Structure 1
Amino acid sequence: MNIVATTFELVGRGGPSAVSGALVLAAECLIVLMVVLTVRRVLIFAGVKKVIVTGRVARKWILPEHREWQGKAYVTVPAKNALEVDFENRLLQFFPVAWMYERVSEGDEIDVAVQRGRFGDEIRILDIGPF
């Protein structure tokens, strides 16, 4: 009896072994996909320096308190302050701390620290404000 069986051996045996082999194959594919996506995300932004650009606050709003499903239960997510920053004809959302949120208003020109990804044109906001 073989204690360690590969996925294809299980499927090749047929019957109940084929079902468990298919489930093991699906789990292995899911793990490989998660690893590939994580490595891709790390490669895009790893070692990329931040750049300070000038942007404009296009919209300022508060995301209200709401309930959402997280894990095994509904949780209450507190209200968050949100800014929509326009730079280089791109609108990106940023959730600053309260004191930064209070200092800006719609239409203000602000400095924005961003990271540009290595591949594609992914951009993420790191910080805003006076540095």
Structure 2
Amino acid sequence: MFFFLYAIILVCAAKAMFDFANFAGVRTQTGTACVVAKRIVPEHWEWIGRTPVRVKEYETLDLQIGGRLTTYRPVPWILDRTTANTTEPVQFKAGRLNGKVQVEKFKYL
């Protein structure tokens, strides 16, 4: 029982250290993002601990930044002013270990 608990804590600590090391010291880059699609994620259930929680539907953007496809959920007023198949300015960080893209600012720099 305790071994399992310690193993979970160790895995969570390793994941947090990896995420920190992935973006530590990486400078913010300015570039362009191609809006591939605007999607609506339907209402669904997610588990938080032992409790199921209903998540209302929300909209996301599929962006292609520097040849990498990523999903971004901006604030609603930016989302309303964005259309698919357009190119918008973006500030982002690219992870040094796995190349994951983290959007800092979108459309209004």
Q: Aligned-residue CA RMSD in angstroms? A: 1.6
Runs of 5+ unmatched residues, structure 2: none
More helix by share: 1
Aligned pair count reads 109
Runs of 4+ in 1 over 3 A off after TM superposition: none
Change (3 A) 1:29 1:73: closer
Query: TM-score w.r.t. structure 1 length?
Result: 0.73
Q: Percent identity?
A: 25
Is residue 70 of structure 1 aligned with residue 32 of structure 2? no
Report the TM-score, using the length of structure 2 for normalisation. 0.86
Aligned equivalents of 1:65, 1:119: Cα separation in 2: 33
- Indicate the structure with greater strand content: 2
1:33 counterpart letter in structure 2: V
Larger radius of gyration: 1
1:57 aligns with 2:35: yes
Q: 1:32 to 1:49 in 2, by over 3 A?
A: same
Structure 1 unaligned blocks of 5 or more: 1-22
Counterpart pick for 1:107 among 73, 85, 95: 85
SS at match of 1:81: strand
Asked which structure has the greater RCO (Cα within 8 Å, sep 6+), the reply is: 2
